[in-house]
Amino acid sequence: MKLSLDTIGYGGYFTRDYESLSLEDAFRRAAKFGYDAACIYAHRPLGFPGDLDADRRKKLVDLAKELDIEVGGVVCCTNYQEGNHMLLYPQEKEIMYTKAAIDLAADVGSKVVRVLAAFYGYFQNPYASQGYGSPAFESRSRRVSRNEDFLEAWHQVRRALKEVSDYAADKGIDLALQTHPEITGNNEEALQMIEEVGASNLKIGLDLPLFERFDHEFIRNTVHMMKDYMVYSHTISLCPAFTVGGAPYSWEEVTPGSERDPLPWDVFLQACKEIGYNGYFSHEQCSPILVKGHKLGGVDVVDERYIEARNFFQQQLRKLGTYSGNKPETV
């Protein structure tokens, strides 16, 4: 098992004054902080495939070799649902984008492209509360009450995943379908989608913070359920906040291993060892970091988080005897 830095943290999406780095500088950070690899976040301003011509791709490969790091996964945020108007074609554009990301992965020597089934930008689509059992994808109607809108969206996504999986197979690339709402709202649904698509190279991106529960038995059982599918994993931690009276009302990304981290990483990593997982654990910063004085953190705070997480997981993997990289235990 090796540790990778997902470059999303340096895209400026959530930092103070939109501070960001180039993809190349993010690679340099990964090497400086002792990561084994850097994952390309395949969106602007970092690694959008259309911005990386053949010359720049070659230079990225050369830079990784110079820095003694690997090019990890290519990470995409995708939504394979069709549009809500006959003359809107978002699914076609998503398929084109995914194929471009697959080509990028092949060019830089990456073996995994992370995809999402559907994603509105948060954990619930605008109509979800109007559903009847399953989440809705249209406003209230007989179709919603019969779950027909949900089933239609499910099959739209399934058809698109089949197309991009076939394309990836021709390039020798695995797709890691991350368990993530909208369509694949839990790990069982993600596995059902993979089985229905029926492509041998459509695998799973399994992230502990996105599990349904965190009791030890459930974690072990879920990881073992994914034994033949797991090819990728992110390592951020989510800490919920509660109102007086104990009602949950928000959450925040926190550094794994910190005093606010609620997740049993030792259980998860042990289970990954038991199933023989030998891929990357890729750390990301993909939401705002609030610092003292109620301000957004900048790149300097992102740096700190990446270093702390890397040192924590290095120690965890070494304890398990599963670290296969060549970097020092701490930086």
- pLDDT digit string (tens) for 193-224? 999 999 999 999 999 999 999 999 999 999 99
- pLDDT digit string (tens) for 122-137? 778 889 999 999 999 9
- pLDDT digit string (tens) for 18-44? 999 999 999 999 999 999 999 999 999
- pLDDT digit string (tens) for 223-282? 999 999 999 999 999 999 999 999 989 999 999 999 999 999 999 999 999 999 999 999
- pLDDT over 70 for what percent of the chain? 100
Report residue 328 as tokens.
């020092």
- The confidence score (pLDDT) of residue 55 equals 98
- The confidence score (pLDDT) of residue 138 equals 92
Residue 287: pLDDT band (50, 70, 90) is very high
Residue 84: pLDDT band (50, 70, 90) is confident
CA–CA separation, 137 vs 51, rounded Å? 33
- In terms of C-beta density within 10 A (0-12 exposed, 13-18 middle, 19 or more buried), how is residue 293 classed? exposed
CA angle 15, 114, 200 (to 5 degrees): 175
Query: Mean pLDDT across the chain, nearest whole number?
Result: 96
- The confidence score (pLDDT) of residue 124 equals 82
Cα torsion for 260, 265, 266, 267, to the nearest 10°? 120
Instruction: Sketch out the chain's domains with CATH numbers.
Output: 2-320 (3.20.20.150)
Task: Tell me the mean pLDDT in the region 135-145.
Answer: 93
Tell me if 127 sits within 8 A of 138, measured CB to CB: yes
Task: Tell me the mean pLDDT in the region 58-62.
Answer: 98
Give residues with Cβ within 8 angstroms of 225, minimum separation 6.
187, 191
Burial 233-270 (b: 16+ CB within 10 A, else e): bbbbbbbeeeeeeeeeeeeebbbbbeeebebebebbbb
Residue 320: pLDDT band (50, 70, 90) is very high
The answer to whether the bond into 240 is cis (omega within 30° of 0) is: no
